[in-house]
Amino acid sequence: MEKRLSKISQTLTPSPIQELSHLAQRCGAINLAEGFPDFAAPAHIKNAAVSAINSDLNQYSHVQGICDLLATRMKSSHGLDIDPDTNIVICCGQTEAFAATMFAIIDRGDEVLILDPAFETYETCIRLAGGVPVYVPLDPPHWALNVDRLRKSFTSRTKALVLNSPHNPTGKVFSMEELEAIAGACCEMDCFAVTDEVYEYITFDAKKHISLASLPGMQERTIITSSLSKTFSVTGWRIGWSCALANIASAIRNIHVKITDSAPAPFQEAALTALKSAPAYFESLKQDYERKRDYIVDVLASLGLQIRFKPQGSFFVFTELPETWLLSDMMVCVSPGRQKQNAKKLLEVVHLYEEAQGRVVSIE
């Protein structure tokens, strides 16, 4: 039977994130593998979803009102002039929006630049579309963009560059200088930029998210992908979008409809309520996450882990294990073994945080 599988499917490996999540579920452990918030979605948004279900809005649906609200937000936040009728496609989360974008713009053999480290889905979607992922390393410990290295990574086959800011997994927010360098290279090489902006409302220390599409010459070549997931703690709702020029958005929409037809109808209705949230909600979100960042960074440092870069956004802390810990980062996560004490230290971090939030969790 294996010979009947496609060649590309035989090269794909299981997701490490999913493997660790399944392991955590089997062992009854706290799951630190998947990037989902640990707090409930706002009550009024959940109520909107329940109301939609009870009103029997449960069939195929394409809620145009979401596009109207998104276009308004992009204008106010980034100065982008977006036609809600032609430039926005509602998808099943950012992941599907990104995949449909790759299928819409990538031909076999096209190269796509990925700033490394990167979220694992990017490479898979590019390869499924027939493209060739080309990794461009960011320089630790502050994950700086080396502009010379970036420019040398472009070739005549480069079709697109992927930019995720605020960044998963480093927590970096790309500076205006770095964005200008990326924009300049994309314009010079006449290639697309595909952005992942799911953490746009989660930034710290007065850092501000700047959409690459807002820079001169970039709106016509940038495809924005994002979602409700992280902003409203609804990662399971799968409501995301792509925003692009009309002809590109049309291609993405056609692919989306052929694959999934539409995003979940009740949650599209609830998205209308979410996107109407007052500015105070987004400010409170940032403050809550910044407080949690400061707490976990201090605790990790007190346990001997090296924090060389304090996250500027998103909700990840990229840290180094002490040299005295003999196992790799993966083995520390999945196999206490000889490092039982070290594994217990990691769990103590979670315990301390949960205790501070008024919840008690066993670390045995």
User: pLDDT tens digit string along 145-157?
Assistant: 999 999 999 999 9
Predicted model pTM: 0.88
Helices 43-54 & 265-275 angle (0-180, nearest 10): 140
Q: Among 316, 251, 274, 204, which residue's Cα sits nearest to residue 44?
A: 274
* Alpha carbon 118 to chain centroid, angstroms: 10
Q: Where are the domains of the chain?
A: 12-41+279-356, 53-275
pLDDT value of residue 325:
73
Confidence at 355, pLDDT banded by 50, 70, 90: low
Whether 279 shows a pLDDT value over 50: the answer reads yes
Identify whether the C-beta of residue 224 lies closer than 8 Å to the C-beta of residue 244: yes
The CATH class of 12-41+279-356 is alpha beta
Identify whether the C-beta of residue 231 lies closer than 8 Å to the C-beta of residue 271: no
Q: What is the pLDDT of residues 210-229, one digit of tens each?
A: 999 999 999 999 999 999 99
pLDDT value of residue 163:
98
The rounded mean pLDDT for the chain is: 89
Distance CA(82)–CA(321), nearest Å, equals: 45
Neighbours of 230 (CB within 10 A): 24
Identify whether the C-beta of residue 17 lies closer than 8 Å to the C-beta of residue 169: no
Mean pLDDT to the nearest integer, 252-264: 96
Whether 32 shows a pLDDT value over 90: the answer reads no
Distance CA(357)–CA(355), nearest Å, equals: 5
Confidence at 332, pLDDT banded by 50, 70, 90: low
Whether 346 shows a pLDDT value over 70: the answer reads no
Distance CA(185)–CA(180), nearest Å, equals: 9
Whether 101 shows a pLDDT value over 70: the answer reads yes
Confidence at 338, pLDDT banded by 50, 70, 90: very low
pLDDT value of residue 341:
52
The hierarchical CATH code for the domain 53-275 is 3.40.640.10
CA pseudo-torsion sign 157, 160, 165, 170: negative
Q: What percent of the chain has pLDDT over 70?
A: 90
Confidence at 363, pLDDT banded by 50, 70, 90: very low
Neighbours of 87 (CB within 10 A): 23
Mean pLDDT to the nearest integer, 153-182: 97
The single residue listed with the structure tokens 């994309």 is: 186
Longest dimension (CA), the chain: 59
Neighbours of 148 (CB within 10 A): 8
Mean pLDDT to the nearest integer, 190-206: 97
**Range of lowest pLDDT (83-92, 187-196, 253-262, 321-330):** 321-330
